Amino acid sequence: MEAKMTKIAVLCVVFAICSITYAVQKKKEDPLADRVQQMVEWNSKKSVIRMNGDKFKQYVRGVPRNYSVIVMLTALQPQRQCSVCKQANDEFTIVANSWRYSNQFSNKLFFAMVDFDEGSDVFQQLKLNTAPVFMHFPPKGKPKKADTMDIHRVGFAAEQVSRWVQERTDIQIRIFRPPNYSGTLALALLFSLVGGLLYLKRNNLEFLYNKTFWGIAALSVIFAMTSGQMWNHIRSPPVMHKNPSTGAIHYIHGSSQGQFVAETYMVMLLNAAIVGGFILMSEANTLKGDPGKKRVFALVGLGCVAVFFSLLLSIFRSKYQGYPYSFLFK
């Protein structure tokens, strides 16, 4: 009887220990489960979760965590004069939407945003004085240097963000961009205008046999495409960038992965000037009469090619850091 009571006592003690252990473990898991459930609920409404300082502290920096968070710290309010923040936000949203509607979507990765006017304490905590900034907060530990995306080197296009996310989380996101029919409509309008012009001028179509006309038309298309006008049409970049901290205006993008509208027109004009220089040198050989006139044409053409090609090469060097070659201008 005594042995039986001893066994019952031992079983009660073991049961009590197991119950206490389970309760403690459950207590530890409950905050994590609640946190994940809340993040999933927010994510079901919007692909990018908007956060303030308190939410950031609780759901991004709070422990325990079993998920990664990609955070964009930005300043979207007009008074902040961040010209690239809207474009970066559009690209970030494309990545978040691509993840949310992909077949691999899970609660292991979330995308969030902190605006300066809603979470200035987050910027102070992270010691940030610029925007936009893309950061990865891993499930365990603090973010490392590589967890901050170097947008000045690689840009912030959705494809680049997706590649960086894969490097940090081993999660591959296939980018799906929303269809844009404005190009198709513009092309249809162009063909309609050209067709209408040809119909109205059907009795006077000599210009179709003019080599100069077709040469200028071909060069215009080439200048537009080589300067990046199609890239502008797809990405809608800002005209220029004004540094919010220094007030300096930049017309040339510092990365090979991006460009400004003003930059494309500068490249277009430089290409046109180089072609003009070659035309002058070519025409100098066909001129008849005064040899001095030929010399002037040739020297002016050579000067145009040398100067404007040097400027074009200088822009190329500023975008591709470390390019070793230059000519006339650094």
CA dihedral 314, 150, 107, 66 (to 10 degrees): 160
Q: Which residue has better confidence, 28 or 173?
A: 173
For residue 67, is it within any domain?
yes
For residue 330, is it within any domain?
no
Tokens standing for residue 171: 């999660």
Verify that 237 and 139 share a domain, yes or no: no
For residue 190, is it within any domain?
no
Looking at the chain, the whole-number percentage of residues with pLDDT higher than 90 is 14
For residue 105, is it within any domain?
yes
Describe the crossing of helices 291-319 and 261-284 by its angle, rounded to 10 degrees: 150
Q: How far is it, in rounded angstroms, from Cα 142 to Cα 149? A: 15
Residue 69 has a pLDDT of 92
Q: How far is it, in rounded angstroms, from Cα 50 to Cα 67? A: 17
pLDDT in tens, 196-253: 877 776 667 676 777 887 888 888 888 888 888 887 777 777 777 777 667 778 778 7
Number of compact structural domains in the chain: 2
Beta-carbon contacts of residue 160 (< 8 Å; ≥ 6 apart): 154, 257
Verify that 69 and 138 share a domain, yes or no: yes
Verify that 160 and 214 share a domain, yes or no: no
Verify that 225 and 155 share a domain, yes or no: no
Verify that 27 and 132 share a domain, yes or no: yes
Residue 28 has a pLDDT of 45
Containing domain of residue 238, as a range? 210-319
Q: Which residue has better confidence, 272 or 154?
A: 272
We report the CATH number of the domain holding residue 158 as: 3.40.30.10
Report helix, strand or coil for 83.
Answer: coil
Verify that 222 and 163 share a domain, yes or no: no
Residue 291 has a pLDDT of 77
For residue 180, is it within any domain?
no
Q: Is the pLDDT of residue 149 over 50?
A: yes
pTM recorded for the entire structure: 0.55
Verify that 138 and 262 share a domain, yes or no: no
Residue 283 has a pLDDT of 81
Mean pLDDT of the chain: 81
Verify that 162 and 24 share a domain, yes or no: yes
Verify that 99 and 215 share a domain, yes or no: no
Q: Is the pLDDT of residue 315 over 70?
A: yes
pLDDT in tens, 117-139: 888 899 988 888 888 999 999 99
Verify that 258 and 144 share a domain, yes or no: no
pLDDT in tens, 34-90: 888 888 889 888 899 999 988 898 899 888 888 999 999 998 888 887 878 888 898
Residue 22 has a pLDDT of 47
For residue 17, is it within any domain?
yes
Verify that 123 and 223 share a domain, yes or no: no
Q: How far is it, in rounded angstroms, from Cα 8 to Cα 14? A: 10
Domain boundary among 145, 169, 193: 169
For residue 177, is it within any domain?
no
For residue 194, is it within any domain?
no
Verify that 229 and 138 share a domain, yes or no: no
Q: Is the pLDDT of residue 282 over 70?
A: yes
